[in-house]
Amino acid sequence: MPKINPDKSYAQVPLRLGKLDPAVTIEMPYGWLTELCLLVADKILNLNDHDKQNFIANMERLSGPDATYTLKAQLHESMIVIYANLASTKLSPDQKTALASKLVEGVKNCGPGFHDRINEAVESLSV
């Protein structure tokens, strides 16, 4: 019977696609994670108060200052790409809604699952 190796089952695959163009520089504002949450919850998806609070709480749990996820720095790199694209004018409103929805759906996962979901979203930007 096959056995799952817990040391490899949730190994994070390095992100190969979707990096920001080296010619593009973005100044990340202080509190960018909070701004990302508010951008997604208020401006793009118009979540109700209950869903908004749940989304923000889950984002803080997985990637906030007190998060214990071991690959948090790499997760933040991917989330910065998401934030830069959601804050830009390059994406259409439909693309922003799809990207924000992927973020909201994935935030309910565990840390590695959320990271995988974010990396999928980043990779979709490079297609």
43 half-sphere exposure, CB direction, 13 A CA radius: 11
- The distance from CA 125 to its chain's CA centroid, rounded to whole angstroms, is 12
% of the chain surpassing 90 pLDDT: 35
State the amino acid at position 81 in one-letter form: V
Q: In this predicted structure, what is the pLDDT of residue 18?
A: 45
Give the model confidence (pLDDT) of 70-119 as tens digits. Answer: 899 899 988 998 998 898 888 899 999 999 999 998 888 888 888 998 99
The continuous run of DSSP H or E covering 109 comes out as none
State the Cα–Cα distance between residues 73 and 70, nearest whole angstrom: 8
What average pLDDT score do residues 39-43 get? 93
Whether the CA torsion 105, 66, 31, 116 is positive or negative: it is negative
Give the model confidence (pLDDT) of 12-33 as tens digits. Answer: 555 443 444 544 556 677 888 9
32 half-sphere exposure, CB direction, 13 A CA radius: 16
Query: Which of helix, strand or coil describes residue 121?
Result: helix
Q: In this predicted structure, what is the pLDDT of residue 23?
A: 45
